């Protein structure tokens, strides 16, 4: 194996997670079935990750062979994980894009309750940033604009109850203003 070089790959992200201030999962996506084959192993990793980071002042940690960058705000912790140590800047740009996109979507109200109320849109943003471990976009402005477009174009049968009520309230408001 001397002199063995790894071929470059687009699959750099192993996982993204948003945990609350107790270390409980709000939202998580894992893209590598070899590293995290079961939900039990994912939760154990998240618990360990949270225990190592919730009191730390750093932005990066090596844990179980993964490089993890993280950021906290109010009652949430945002994590992005990968196994290549050469891409810390890329990892930080994905983390910042996720955080800034969520911040814009929630109008700077980045806290657990707001994320849970808009979980579908936050999930959509996460999917716009990383798909299957491949980084698609690291610009929060374009992510938010695509999420807004896709959110408006959802057929009524696929909308959540909250989206249908919001749409009905808007229509009622405009009909009363006429």
Mean pLDDT of the chain: 83
> What is the per-residue pLDDT for 1?
46
46 — pLDDT class (breaks 50, 70, 90): very high
CATH number at residue 45: 3.30.450.60
Residue 7 is predicted with a pLDDT of 61
Confidence of residue 74 (pLDDT cuts 50, 70, 90): confident
Q: Is residue 58 part of a domain?
A: yes
Residue 110 lies in a domain: yes
Residues 129-166 have pLDDT tens digits of 999 888 898 899 999 988 886 555 555 555 556 666 66
Domain hosting 166: range is 13-177
For residue 35, the model assigns a pLDDT of 85
**CA–CA distance, 97 with 105 (Å, rounded to integer):** 12
Q: What 8-state DSSP symbol labels residue 158?
A: G
110: exposed, middle or buried (C-beta count within 10 Å: 0-12, 13-18, 19+)?
buried
Tell me whether residue 1 is in a domain. no
| 63: in domain | yes
Where b means 16+ CB within 10 Å and e means fewer, 143-171 reads: bbebbeeebeeeeeeeeeeebeeeeeeee
**Average pLDDT over every residue of 52-63:** 87
Q: Under a CB-based contact definition with an 8 Å cutoff, are residues 77 and 110 in contact?
A: no
Q: How far apart are CA 25 and CA 58, in angstroms?
A: 21
Q: Specify the pTM.
A: 0.77
Q: Is the pLDDT assigned to residue 94 strictly greater than 60?
A: yes
């Amino acid at each position: 194996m001397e002199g063995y070089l790894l071929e470059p790959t687009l699959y750099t992200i192993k996982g993204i997670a948003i945990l609350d201030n107790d270390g409980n999962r709000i939202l998580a996506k894992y893209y590598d079935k070899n590293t995290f084959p079961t939900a039990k192993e994912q939760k154990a990793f998240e618990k360990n990750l949270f225990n190592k980071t919730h009191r730390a002042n750093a932005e990066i940690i090596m844990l179980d062979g993964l490089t993890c960058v993280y950021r906290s705000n109010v009652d949430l912790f945002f994590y992005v994980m990968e196994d290549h140590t050469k891409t810390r800047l890329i990892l930080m740009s994905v983390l910042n894009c996720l955080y800034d996109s969520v911040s814009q979507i929630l109008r700077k109200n980045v806290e657990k309750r707001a994320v849970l109320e808009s979980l579908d849109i936050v999930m959509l943003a996460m999917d716009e940033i990383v798909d299957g471990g491949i980084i698609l976009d690291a610009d929060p402005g374009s992510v938010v604009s695509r999420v807004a477009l896709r959110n408006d174009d959802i057929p009524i049968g696929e909308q959540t109850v909250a989206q249908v009520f919001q749409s009905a309230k808007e229509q009622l408001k405009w009909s009363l203003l006429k």
